[in-house]
Amino acid sequence: MHERSLVQTLLNQVQQIVADDGGGVVKEIQVQVGDLSGVEPLLFESAFTELAREWFPQECRLVLDIVPVKAECRLCGQCFEVQDNEFLCPACGTGPVEVIQGDQVKLMSITVDSENSVSGAKS
Amino acid sequence: MNTRVLSVRRDIQAEQKADAAAERERLGRRGTLVINLLSSPGSGKTSLLEATARHWAGRRSMAVLVGDLETDRDAQRLAPLVPVAQLTTGGACHLELPLVQRGLQALGDPAVDFLFIENVGNLVCPASHDLAEHLRVVLISTTEGDDKPGKYPKMFRTSQAMVVTKQDLLPHVPFSIEAVTEDALKIQPELNVLTTCAIDNSGIQEWCEFLEQQYQEKIESVYEPAGNQ
């Protein structure tokens, strides 16, 4: 169940980023999970529910955005959505193809409540 | 109350991936090819390593880091043949880089030609962790069914080679090399496919030649002169 280890990594980063930005109460965490990331969203959510309780005493929502797998053919440049795990170029049929989307677990944004006005969004 | 949204847009494993890339570079520069071996439990990783060590005895140097949830049984099997360290995960389903680095330290960080990481038997979780390998190899035994690649796509997508083991059992089991190869190549068209049996040594020479070719391509051709740093 490596989702637990990934959630621990995620929460560690959230805590650091929020602390660096002036602190506050974490209300929502948005994460992109690719279909080829090896992460099972339900297991990720349940690990989050369990661990977030320890890390953030206040209620914190996890928003998962599931991203389909997209690839680009290295020969003909065709971009296509990968269906049924078939990584063959639908245009030229030869491949090889490069995965350009769908293998990521990406922390997208953190919503924070604080008493005082601080710096605001950073990129 | 002030609500703010921090835009991050960062791979949560970015730091681990950077650490793995740095370790891969360090080991490659001093002449070591790192091979991450992944498979289901009981597919024959340890037997393949024993056969590899016997084949190379005195000609190429190798060391093995063995990952298991409990016991050092596989390490005990390999210890008479090659330097070996056991990595006990204590229940965790995969290895991560810090544990691999601890194992390397336990071995005295030997400058061997080939460092094998025998991952925890599992076709799911180990696929998500970069252990600084130059080559990822997935094993599939003839006893476990030829439909595995489609069931565990990430494992096969992220591997560069697939070794079908226990080929001596082919007459006794419903397993088709053609079917497993076709299934795997849909997921990873560039996969190298090898077939072995560690009991009668069939395919072991081809496996070792494949590794030596990988050594040439990924170490000798990249870091010149090899092994002198």
Is residue B127 situated within a structural domain?
Answer: yes
Is residue B213 situated within a structural domain?
Answer: no
Is residue B228 situated within a structural domain?
Answer: no
Q: Hey, are the CB atoms on B4 and A112 less than 8 Å from each other?
A: yes
Which CATH number characterizes residue B196's domain?
Answer: 3.40.50.300
Chain B segment 157-196 residues within 8 A of A by beta carbon are 157, 186-190
Tell me if the bond preceding A96 is cis, omega within 30° of 0.
Answer: yes
Is residue B214 situated within a structural domain?
Answer: no
3-state SS string for B185-207: HHHCCCCEEEECCCCCCCCHHHH
Is residue B100 situated within a structural domain?
Answer: yes
Is residue B69 situated within a structural domain?
Answer: yes
pLDDT tens-place string over residues B57-112: 989 999 999 998 888 888 999 999 999 999 988 888 889 999 999 999 999 999 99
How close B218 gets to chain A, by Cα (Å)?
A: 20
Q: Nearest-CA neighbor of B38 among B140, B110, B130? A: B140
Write the CA distances from B14 to B17, B140, B217, integer angstroms: 5, 30, 26
Number of domains in chain B: 1
Residue A57 in contact with residue A32, Cβ under 8 Å? no
For chain B, strand residue ranges (E) read 2-11, 33-38, 62-68, 84-88, 114-118, 135-141, 161-165, 192-195
Q: Which residues of chain B have pLDDT under 50?
A: 226-229
Q: How far apart are CA B34 and CA B114, in angstroms?
A: 6
- Rounded to 10 deg, the angle between the A2-20 and A41-55 helix axes is 50
Is residue B104 situated within a structural domain?
Answer: yes
The reported pTM is 0.89
The residue range of the domain holding B87 is 20-25+32-204
Q: What is the pLDDT of residue A56?
A: 81
Q: Which two tokens stand for residue A43?
A: 């297991």
How many other C-beta atoms lie within 10 A of the C-beta of residue B201? 12
Is residue B2 situated within a structural domain?
Answer: no
